[in-house]
Structure 1
Amino acid sequence: MLGQPFQRRLQDAAHSGRVFHRLALLVAAYCFATNAYAADYRSVREPVPVRKAPQEQAPIAFYYGPGTPVELIQERNGWAQVRDKDGGGLFWVPANALTTQRTVITRHAETEVRSAPDKSAALLSVLPANAVLRLNTAQRTPPGWVAVETAQGTGYVAKRDVWGW
């Protein structure tokens, strides 16, 4: 028979192992969930018909213009299943019609582009809804802001005002 103190230490070690194991599972689940929901954005290279199924004979729902940002859901047999800012469903476009060059699209009737990532920074321009801007991924920004390229150079837009980042 094992002595009482030794048995207690074994129980404590087993309990610690279970706690560690559960903690490791929680961390792994969090990492998996975070990666599983990380959006993969692309932009449309050229005007392209948007179809309801991944085939040339499928009905055309509408057209995307050049630069339109889309969320890539999956690729299959040369087709890309995408979602746009309106979120009205999933559609298909030829995969080669998409580029990894990132763009964003304005959500509101008036979107302010600032000279710095601060709401009190100089106003560079005010854009209408559905204006497409090239995302400047090289420029580091504080939380809540994205850097975009405009005719005046780099500007900053509040993330809540654009879709596709």
Structure 2
Amino acid sequence: MAAVLAASTLLPLAISGVAAPAWAQAAKGASGLPLPRFVSLKSKSVNLRVGPSVDYAVSWRYLKPGVPVEIIQEYDNWRRVRDADGTEGWVNQALLSGARTALAAPWMRGKGQGVLVNMRREPQSGATVVARVEPGVMLHIGECTGEWCKAEAQGAEGWIVQTEIWGAYPGEAFK
């Protein structure tokens, strides 16, 4: 029987004639890395600022390490990030990690009882369900195939359809 995982308190290539996904056509930031890209928060307390300097006001404070964010702009050692709720601001790069995390279907939070994301034993739609994950649960991502992501959450491990998470782009593959 599959376990149900509750939400935590956290709140390519272009083949001729076929366009590459948007993330594969990304621009490069000042760091030389692609923009946009997903990263995670490294620290248990991260200030989101209205501008790229400690001279700017703090608009939000994250209190949980591992929260996935999307880097959308770079300036010096500051990164403009967007979270799953669409909140944007600036974070010092030292407070970010390349470790990949994701949130299970955060857009489904509050949609009622029984709205769960299946975590499967294998990356196939007919594979055994090993856990059912509530929207908003934070996942640690080991790899994505472009269609499925291998994830771990609260001791459960398995595969989740890539379009059911926020923290990896549709079609993005990595190990």
If the length of structure 2 is used for normalisation, what is the TM-score?
0.65
Shift of 1:129: 2.2
Number of the residue aligned with 2:166 = 163
Shift of 1:102: 0.8
Shift of 1:78: 2.1
Number of the residue aligned with 2:40 = 43
Deviations 1:127-163 (A, max 9, x none): 22221111112xx63x42111124133x111112111
In 1, distance between residues paired with 2:136 and 2:61? 14
For structure 2, list consecutive stretches of 5 or more residues without a partner in the other structure: 1-15, 28-34, 110-115, 169-175
Number of the residue aligned with 1:87 = 86
Shift of 1:42: 0.7
Pick which of 127-136 and 94-103 moved more: 127-136
| Greater RCO structure (CA 8 Å; 6+ sep) | 2
Number of the residue aligned with 1:9 = none
Number of the residue aligned with 2:61 = 63
Number of the residue aligned with 1:149 = 152
For structure 1, list consecutive stretches of 5 or more residues without a partner in the other structure: 1-26
Structure with the larger helix share: 1
Q: Aligned residues, how many? A: 131
Number of the residue aligned with 1:22 = none
Cα RMSD of the aligned pairs, angstroms, is: 2.4
Instruction: Please tell me whether the aligned partners of residues 36 and 73 of structure 2 are also in contact (alpha carbons under 8 angstroms).
Output: no
Shift of 1:60: 2.0
Query: Aligned pair in 2 of structure 1 residues 78, 39: CA closer, same or farther (>3 Å)?
Result: closer
In 1, distance between residues paired with 2:84 and 2:149? 17
Instruction: Please tell me whether the aligned partners of residues 67 and 103 of structure 1 are also in contact (alpha carbons under 8 angstroms).
Output: yes
In 2, distance between residues paired with 1:52 and 1:78? 15
- SS of 1:136's partner is strand
Q: How does 1:51-130 map to 2 (within 5 A)?
A: 51-64=49-62, 65-88=64-87, 90-107=88-105, 108-109=108-109, 110-130=116-136
In 1, distance between residues paired with 2:166 and 2:136? 10
Q: What's the % identity of the aligned pairs?
A: 27
In 2, distance between residues paired with 1:69 and 1:149? 14
CA radius of gyration, larger in: 1
